[in-house]
């Protein structure tokens, strides 16, 4: 395995800084500047709103694609950050703009509540309420009601997967797809090969992962709850079609790919793609490969529209 040259320079800088689990949370939450995004990807525009979620006015941002003759789909997007940091700004703004444009989707990016102040299941409920609000306001948003997707990166991909599971278990409607960028799907009770191989020196460390789980969960019993750790589910059938993207040098790689296989074995349509030479969160560092990944995801989203 060879780390891609454009990622090596990023890693050399990252590895000179304290690991995330050794960094004060307040500092983590301030450490997400826009990295190399001088040219904002063009879309029609954005709108900042709030969504009511169990008594909380949750910030969200709506991204509208450029004028088109085809009515856009709806995508609910959840940012990453180990359930502890992240928000509407930084590189996720770039990700949402790219997905909005290339997949012709109205994107609703959700600033769900963070741990440890708000532990599981608060973020999952915020994600669920965002989906319900977006569907209920879809005419106002200007998207197609029968073309709804959930998406996210890392911890946000966990929330997207859990939301898709809740749709199957609790809703009287369906969604057309789930887009999962390097998702965290399970507490590492038995560390996988990728967890052991890439647990240090590749941005996200094994100790980071354990620390994030400790911030997020209320008790060890939550590690077995599929709405916290979707790989713990007993039934993977009848979930929405899934696009699952992994990075080769990512401690979460094997659990994410295991989740994709579990869904596929249960009859779910799954597109699994691994980006060799990449690390966890590589879309945070704008490179041709990160743009390639966003384009691949967008093409998959468009293919699901055509088939529905």
> What would the pLDDT profile of 258-308 be if each residue is shown by its tens digit?
999 999 999 999 999 999 999 999 998 878 899 999 999 999 999 998 654
Say which of 73, 105, 154, 290 is annotated catalytic: 154
The first and second tokens of residue 298, run together, are 């967008």
State the pTM of this model. 0.96
Between CA 183 and CA 5 the distance in angstroms is 24
pLDDT computed for residue 34 by the predictor: 46
Exposure string for 153-179, b = 16+ CB within 10 A, e = fewer: bbbbbbbbbbbbbbbbeeeeeebbbbb
Percentage with pLDDT > 90 across the chain: 85
Percentage with pLDDT > 70 across the chain: 96
CATH of the structural domain 5-307, one choice from 3.10.180.10, 3.40.50.1820, 3.10.290.10, 3.50.50.60: 3.40.50.1820
Mean pLDDT across 157-168: 98
109 classed as catalytic: no
pLDDT computed for residue 154 by the predictor: 98
pLDDT computed for residue 1 by the predictor: 65
290 classed as catalytic: no
Give 35-72 pLDDT, tens digit per residue: 455 567 889 999 999 999 999 999 999 999 997 778 99
Residue-averaged pLDDT of the chain: 94
pLDDT computed for residue 195 by the predictor: 97
Say which of 101, 111, 126, 250 is annotated catalytic: 250
Exposure string for 219-255, b = 16+ CB within 10 A, e = fewer: eeebeebbbbbbbbbeebeebbbbbbbbbbbbbbbbb
Given a contact cutoff of 8 angstroms between Cβ atoms, the answer to whether 199 and 255 are in contact is no
For 6, counting Cβ atoms within 10 Å of its Cβ (0-12 exposed, 13-18 middle, 19+ buried), the class is: middle
Mean pLDDT across 107-118: 98
Tell me: pLDDT of 110 over 90: yes
The first and second tokens of residue 139, run together, are 């005419």
280 classed as catalytic: yes
pLDDT computed for residue 68 by the predictor: 73
Mean pLDDT across 208-218: 98
pLDDT computed for residue 308 by the predictor: 46
Say which of 103, 222, 280, 298 is annotated catalytic: 280
């Amino acid at each position: 395995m060879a780390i891609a040259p454009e990622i090596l320079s990023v890693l050399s800088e990252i590895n000179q800084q304290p690991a995330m689990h050794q960094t004060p949370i307040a500092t983590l939450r301030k450490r997400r500047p826009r990295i190399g995004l001088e040219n904002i990807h063009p879309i029609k525009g954005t709108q900042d709103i709030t969504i009511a979620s169990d008594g909380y006015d949750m910030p969200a941002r709506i991204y509208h694609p450029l004028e088109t003759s085809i009515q856009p789909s709806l995508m609910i997007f959840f940012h990453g950050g180990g359930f502890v940091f992240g928000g509407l700004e930084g590189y996720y703004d770039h990700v949402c703009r790219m997905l909005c444009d290339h997949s012709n989707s109205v994107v609703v990016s959700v600033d769900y509540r963070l741990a440890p102040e708000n532990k599981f299941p608060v973020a999952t409920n915020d994600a669920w309420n965002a989906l319900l609000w977006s569907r209920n306001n879809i005419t106002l948003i200007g998207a197609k009601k029968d073309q709804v997707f959930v998406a996210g990166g890392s911890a946000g991909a966990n929330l997207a997967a859990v939301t898709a599971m809740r749709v199957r278990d609790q809703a009287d409607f369906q969604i057309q797809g789930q887009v999962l960028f390097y998702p965290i799907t399970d507490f590492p009770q038995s560390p996988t090969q990728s967890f052991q191989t890439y647990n240090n020196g590749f941005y996200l460390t094994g100790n980071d992962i354990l620390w994030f789980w400790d911030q997020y969960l209320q008790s060890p019993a939550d590690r077995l709850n599929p709405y916290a750790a979707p790989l713990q589910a007993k039934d993977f059938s009848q979930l929405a079609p899934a696009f699952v993207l992994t990075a080769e040098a990512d401690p979460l790689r094997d659990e994410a790919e295991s989740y994709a296989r579990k869904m596929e074995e249960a009859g779910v349509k799954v597109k699994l793609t691994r980006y060799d030479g990449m690390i966890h969160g590589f879309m945070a560092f704008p490179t041709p490969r990160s743009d390639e990944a966003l384009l691949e995801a967008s093409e998959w989203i468009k293919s699901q529209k055509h088939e529905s």
